[in-house]
Structure 1
Amino acid sequence: MRSLKYILTVGASLFLVACNDSFMERYPQTSISEENFFNTPQDLETYTNGLYEILQYSTDDVYSDNISTYSGSNEWDNMLRGKIDEKNVGGWANDGRPDYVNGSHSDWGTLRKCNVLLVNGYRAQGDESEVKHYVGIGKFFRAWFYFSQIKKYGSSPWYPKPLQTSDVDLLEKGQDSRELVVDSIMADLQFAAENIKAIESRTRINKWAALALMARVALYEGTYRKYHTELNLQGTANAFLEKAIWATNEIMTKGGFEITGNGAEGYRNLFISGDLSGNKEMILYADYDRTIGHGNNTSSVLDWQWHLSRSLADSYLKLDGTPISLDPSYAKRQFTQIFEDRDPRMAETIMPAGFIASGDVQAKKVNPTYGGLGQVKFYPRTQDLNGGYGKNYNDLPIFRYAEVLLINAEAKAELGSITANDINNTINLLRNRVGVTPMDMGNLPNDPVIAAQYPNVTGANAKVILEIRRERRVEMACEGLRTDDIKRWCVGELMERPSEGMYIPGFGPLDITGDGEPDIAIFKTPADNNLSGEDKDKLTVYTLFDETGKEQGIYLSEGDKGYIRFVKDKNIPITFIAPKYYYYPIPFTQVQLNPNLKQPTGW
């Protein structure tokens, strides 16, 4: 079977023209029609190659409270600042009316591709298990599409088949209930898990990837229903949490996966390796390869448009397993000191003092403009893997075993059934890898900071839930899950807090590379710059105001000292309107075209 890197490189589309020679001899034409295709399992494999472009995976947490600020444009950020409504929002259809029939120029093209396979796949003659394997892959991708719809809109019309122009009632229907759509997603994933083969390839959809997606969906839906009382579905939440436990148990007991590596390097290599094929933590990953010119843009995670937040940095425990909020010595530490005696994952996620970027010989200076806490997770460290924009060749995880363990622990904690043995088999495997003291259910810290972040977590099991959430946040940081977590836990108010970067003890020169010599200087205005001699030429200077008195983008939380904050947050603050901002509006033009579509809750 071909690997994901090949599939993504050829850019296969709905009806593939990149077929094998024997097929082209039978049907010498430039496109493939439903009538003359889907005859063999090999045809089904060829078709499913075009579905892999649906897969999405992230190397950042834009936009969430894990980042400090973002200089680009992000739709959720714009919505939270009152700039987005149903009249200017994107999505649903890229342009004009959603093309449910042809699937072109529309979000719905993804769904049509899946449904074409699902209604035609059983025509294939051959080994029944092979046919079901590829039908299962089609169901996996349909579930992936609809899960995205649920997360974005709360519900969606469910279409189990490709539509024709004659299907007027279906074309003009409104959303089906959230319950129907989610139950249908879970049914698709159950079929996928039962019929997709447990193949050895980790760049192709396999049984374990289907179970991992099932677990992710089930945890999302179970916790969403538990904490979002506006749905009136709390009574159905536990069934999804139980399903998350079942799916993760299948992977944990039968999949043969492991938490790999030791210390900081073991964690780092999950994200910067040029070859993850032998890594036993990978359930599914994207394979990038210089030899065929298939690269990614992971070098842009460092200093392009964002940095990471103080909130994320403060989440990392000390090596003894205690939070820094309980240690007064950590209050207002300078940048060069914040990594001392901390969880090694912190310095593999946030750029530490002394970090040398690929191709450089001197330590990189932090950039206060973005807050000073640069992201190094996913940043390729060697020049053979870091060739610049579009020419990075580190493999990227899509599903990894650590997430499975975290899902298992969280679902059990939410149900109140978690035990010390469960913690040892999940959370403590992750802590053991990096040398952080294991979690002890009988001796959990009373951390006021994390308790304030999640005020809706109460009861006898609250502290273990909070610590599992902490572990998830630091282990999975920058992997694109944080925004979904904020939404499903119903804590959107976290986004209202002024985002902060590193601590600045006062105006003047600062050592931020850890060599004892100043590297940058921060002044209130250009007129305050009193540098002279060598420092004047050597140091990179930043000011809070320009010569005209205009703010330059950052300020300090205590005026002449404090944590870096951002003028954007002061001038256009976020006001989180719940439950409205947990959903995106459907574009007004689409509701005009189909009045049966209803806006999500709050819109």
Structure 2
Amino acid sequence: MKKINFYICFGMVTVAAVSCKKNFLDRFPKTEVTKEVFFNNPQDLETYSNGFYGMQPVPYQDIESDNTSNYQAAGYVDGLVRGTVTPVTVGGWNNWGDLRRINFMLVNAGKAQGDAAAIRHFIGIAKYFRAMFYFSKLRDYSDVPWYGKPLATDDPDLYKGRDSRALIADSILADLNYAVENIKPDEGNRTRVTKWAALALLSRFGLYEGTFRKYHPEVNLTNEGKKFLERSVWASEQIMGSNRFTINNTGKGGEDYRALFCSATLNGVKEIIMWADYQQALGASNNTHTVLGYQWALSNSLAETYLMKDGTPFTAQPGYATKTLLEVLANRDPRMNETIASPGFSPNLDNKPYVIKPTIGGYDQVKFYPRLPSQRQGWDANYTALPIYRYAEVLLNLAEAKAELGTITATDLNNTVNLLRARVQMPAMTLTPAADPVLAAQYPGVASTLLLELRRERRVELACEGLRFSDLMRWKAGARLQDAQGGMYVPALGAMDVTGDGNPDIAILASPNDESPIAGLPEDVKKNLTKFHLKDAAGKDNNFYLSGGTKGRIMFTVDRDQPRTFVEPKYYYRPIPQTQTVLNPALKQIFGW
């Protein structure tokens, strides 16, 4: 199959593909693909399907979740928990044109002539993207209209109501089953959709839908989730049994983990099932430098989740809640130091340590940050490869699905979770882990200590990869979104060493008018401090405060002044914008919206 760069402008591809057709410009619109002159052979199908790749999400943060302490630009979840999201104010529901493009290919692909396997391959790719489209809609809205064809403006189905969640989920499953059976396993450099990418999406979807049905009685499908969990297990085992993928473990511990998120290329990395290629020479770039100290940091809740290096919970340490930043980051699961900026981290590799920002919490994200200065050329001009599906997630999917089904064994743990722990030299998980009351309190109603530890493992291994919000929703753990997420603990106003070199780097002070906590410091030390104030010179609160007044955990005034609330089950479902329900009165809101 012809290899084309991951990001291709659909319009450019379309024009290039059809401009060579004899007299095309004389007979048909200049900027449209038409069924009369297109979809004649596998090459046409490939060219058209290349336009779908821009629909593929490539996340590198968990802003909309409890993994983030403070996001200084309001998002959907922020508005949701503060009660400002309504059908009048909400956005979304506006990408149905993507589905029409996919369906346009699917209804016309049957006229193609040539290699039958190649034709089925590209039909499978279209069905992969349709499944991905509807998976996103299912997560957001549950019941939505199912469209299996492109609609004309006079089609009565254009104004139909919601189809059931059961129909949508079964249709997604059918599309993925076709994709798995017909997309070729050819890998190349794994930037294209392959059989293995389709299996990875099936593994993810099956786990999502199976657990969502188990934990959400309001959808009346509680007893019908088993087949999805079993399909997730099957898909995961297909990938595992292929012997094409392994965990990236060269014996370098945290460095092996880090390499998955900030390398120039992921070509040849056997943990990677599918990835996005960003190269300056290809005109493809990302904006990953914004993860570090821009508009968010990671939460204390996430920081506390990482185990100690000996495998015991951090929250079992005496006085864990009042440990300073340097104490929190010491002697932990190495994945923590590859996710949160730690002592010794130097963005420009010049031995100048990074200084954290208390205004966003202090646990600044480094996972996905381009480590070489040459990879950071400016805004939306970063050149690092990003994973889309990796083998580690598939292993976690299998372990959790089997645990939910009650079929997991010690061998399963050794073939999944314990491979991830071995990479970073962490102790293995057993079938009967010790209870952690702090973890158990986060997920009330989950009695299994194994399931709780699998949720911990998933959170730390996949942190900042865009899956945390989805996990909270399927587990019916939305209450975690109403927790006011804090940052690091500050023992007292004044100067602090946050780089680990023994010298103070920052000072947290009551206001610019009161520097008494640092008055006794030498002048050369004071002039090198970065100062942060709880109030401005006029006495107005800044965006953060300390939970104990002059000491305590960094918290945020927005959470104090506009407390978070999560309304169940309403907030597990996104409202349809009122503009759409006015256009189509058959679309009805659900669960209180």
Is 1:398 aligned with 2:399? no
Q: Is the 8 A contact 1:544 1:552 kept in 2?
A: yes
How far did 1:18 drift? 2.5
Report matched runs for 1:551-570 at 5 Å.
551-570=541-560
Q: Match for 2:176: what amino acid?
A: L
How far did 1:164 drift? 1.4
Q: Report the counterpart of residue 142 of structure 1 in structure 2.
A: 130
- Measure, in 2, the Cα distance between the counterparts of 1:291 and 1:2: 19
Q: Report the counterpart of residue 468 of structure 1 in structure 2.
A: 454
Q: Is the 8 A contact 1:14 1:47 kept in 2?
A: no
Q: Select the residue among 564, 578, 585 that pairs with 1:595.
A: 585
Q: Report the counterpart of residue 69 of structure 2 in structure 1.
A: 68
SS in 2 for 1:338: helix
Q: Select the residue among 551, 558, 561 that pairs with 1:571.
A: 561
Q: Report the counterpart of residue 449 of structure 1 in structure 2.
A: 438
Moved more, 159-168 or 328-337: 328-337
- Measure, in 2, the Cα distance between the counterparts of 1:76 and 1:478: 16
SS in 1 for 2:374: coil
Report matched runs for 1:248-263 at 5 Å.
248-261=236-249, 262=251, 263=253
Q: Match for 1:498: what amino acid?
A: A
Is 1:131 aligned with 2:131? no
Q: Is the 8 A contact 2:304 2:314 kept in 1?
A: yes
Q: Match for 2:212: what amino acid?
A: Y
How far did 1:73 drift? 2.2
Q: Report the counterpart of residue 10 of structure 2 in structure 1.
A: 12
SS in 2 for 1:521: strand
- Measure, in 1, the Cα distance between the counterparts of 2:85 and 2:397: 33
Q: Match for 2:81: what amino acid?
A: L
Unaligned residue ranges in structure 1 (runs of 5+): 94-106
Q: Report the counterpart of residue 112 of structure 1 in structure 2.
A: 100
SS in 2 for 1:188: helix
Is 1:337 aligned with 2:335? no
Query: TM-score normalised to the size of structure 1?
Result: 0.94
- Measure, in 2, the Cα distance between the counterparts of 1:545 and 1:246: 56
- Measure, in 1, the Cα distance between the counterparts of 2:312 and 2:3: 43
- Measure, in 2, the Cα distance between the counterparts of 1:548 and 1:298: 36
Taking a change above 3 Å as real, the CA distance of residues 20 and 437 of structure 1, as seen in their structure-2 partners, is: farther
Task: Name the % identity.
Answer: 50
Q: Is the 8 A contact 1:343 1:436 kept in 2?
A: yes
Q: Is the 8 A contact 1:114 1:138 kept in 2?
A: yes
How far did 1:230 drift? 0.9
Q: Select the residue among 254, 260, 268 that pairs with 1:278.
A: 268
Q: Report the counterpart of residue 484 of structure 1 in structure 2.
A: 470
How far did 1:483 drift? 0.4
Report matched runs for 1:349-368 at 5 Å.
349-358=339-348, 361-368=351-358
Q: Deviations over 1:198-227 (max 9, x none)?
A: 011210000010011111111111110000
Moved more, 490-499 or 421-430: 490-499
Q: Match for 1:75: what amino acid?
A: Y
Q: Runs ≥4 in structure 1, deviation > 6 angstroms?
A: none
Q: Report the counterpart of residue 169 of structure 2 in structure 1.
A: 182
Q: Deviations over 1:127-185 (max 9, x none)?
A: 110000000000000001101111111121001111112312x0111010000011000
- Measure, in 2, the Cα distance between the counterparts of 1:529 and 1:595: 62
Report matched runs for 1:405-416 at 5 Å.
405-416=395-406
SS in 2 for 1:50: helix
How far did 1:512 drift? 0.5
Q: Deviations over 1:32-67 (max 9, x none)?
A: 311110001000000000011110121000110000
Moved more, 350-359 or 239-248: 350-359
- Measure, in 2, the Cα distance between the counterparts of 1:114 and 1:64: 31
Q: Is the 8 A contact 2:508 2:531 kept in 1?
A: yes
Q: Is the 8 A contact 1:14 1:50 kept in 2?
A: no
- Measure, in 1, the Cα distance between the counterparts of 2:255 and 2:128: 33
Q: Match for 1:172: what amino acid?
A: Y
Q: Is the 8 A contact 1:371 1:500 kept in 2?
A: yes
SS in 1 for 2:83: coil
How far did 1:528 drift? 2.4
How far did 1:361 drift? 4.2
How far did 1:239 drift? 1.3
Unaligned residue ranges in structure 2 (runs of 5+): none
- Measure, in 1, the Cα distance between the counterparts of 2:169 and 2:558: 38
- Measure, in 2, the Cα distance between the counterparts of 1:478 and 1:522: 28
SS in 1 for 2:284: coil
- Measure, in 1, the Cα distance between the counterparts of 2:104 and 2:554: 52
Q: Is the 8 A contact 2:6 2:192 kept in 1?
A: no
Moved more, 284-293 or 394-403: 284-293
Report matched runs for 1:512-551 at 5 Å.
512-530=498-516, 531-532=518-519, 533-551=523-541
Report matched runs for 1:162-181 at 5 Å.
162-168=150-156, 170-181=157-168
Q: Is the 8 A contact 2:142 2:165 kept in 1?
A: yes
Report matched runs for 1:91-102 at 5 Å.
91-93=92-94
- Measure, in 1, the Cα distance between the counterparts of 2:282 and 2:315: 49
Q: Is the 8 A contact 1:432 1:438 kept in 2?
A: yes
How far did 1:25 drift? 5.0
- Measure, in 1, the Cα distance between the counterparts of 2:364 and 2:579: 40
How far did 1:329 drift? 5.6
Query: TM-score normalised to the size of structure 2?
Result: 0.96
SS in 2 for 1:480: coil
Taking a change above 3 Å as real, the CA distance of residues 218 and 420 of structure 1, as seen in their structure-2 partners, is: same
How far did 1:525 drift? 2.4
How far did 1:255 drift? 5.0
Q: Is the 8 A contact 1:335 1:503 kept in 2?
A: yes
Q: Report the counterpart of residue 372 of structure 2 in structure 1.
A: 382
Q: Is the 8 A contact 1:297 1:392 kept in 2?
A: yes
Q: Deviations over 1:100-146 (max 9, x none)?
A: xxxxxxx1111001101111112110011000000000000000110
Q: Is the 8 A contact 2:347 2:373 kept in 1?
A: no
How far did 1:80 drift? 1.4
- Measure, in 2, the Cα distance between the counterparts of 1:15 and 1:200: 22
Taking a change above 3 Å as real, the CA distance of residues 269 and 26 of structure 1, as seen in their structure-2 partners, is: farther
- Measure, in 2, the Cα distance between the counterparts of 1:333 and 1:396: 34
Moved more, 35-44 or 531-540: 531-540
Q: Report the counterpart of residue 308 of structure 2 in structure 1.
A: 318
SS in 2 for 1:518: coil
Taking a change above 3 Å as real, the CA distance of residues 303 and 150 of structure 1, as seen in their structure-2 partners, is: same
- Measure, in 2, the Cα distance between the counterparts of 1:256 and 1:216: 19
Taking a change above 3 Å as real, the CA distance of residues 268 and 288 of structure 1, as seen in their structure-2 partners, is: same
Q: Match for 1:522: what amino acid?
A: I
- Measure, in 1, the Cα distance between the counterparts of 2:71 and 2:326: 24
Q: Match for 1:397: what amino acid?
A: P
Q: Deviations over 1:388-436 (max 9, x none)?
A: 2121111000000000000000000111111111100000000000000
Q: Report the counterpart of residue 101 of structure 1 in structure 2.
A: none
Q: Is the 8 A contact 1:554 1:566 kept in 2?
A: yes
- Measure, in 1, the Cα distance between the counterparts of 2:11 and 2:341: 39
Q: Is the 8 A contact 1:40 1:126 kept in 2?
A: yes
SS in 2 for 1:392: coil
Aligned residues: 582
- Measure, in 1, the Cα distance between the counterparts of 2:3 and 2:540: 53
Q: Deviations over 1:306-358 (max 9, x none)?
A: 00001001111112211111121644221122222110000000000221113
Q: Select the residue among 218, 234, 237 that pairs with 2:222.
A: 234
How far did 1:385 drift? 1.4
Q: Match for 1:76: what amino acid?
A: V
Q: Match for 1:422: what amino acid?
A: D
How far did 1:587 drift? 0.9
Give the superposed CA RMSD.
Answer: 1.5
Q: Report the counterpart of residue 179 of structure 2 in structure 1.
A: 192
- Measure, in 2, the Cα distance between the counterparts of 1:71 and 1:278: 38
- Measure, in 1, the Cα distance between the counterparts of 2:83 and 2:93: 20
- Measure, in 2, the Cα distance between the counterparts of 1:465 and 1:270: 26
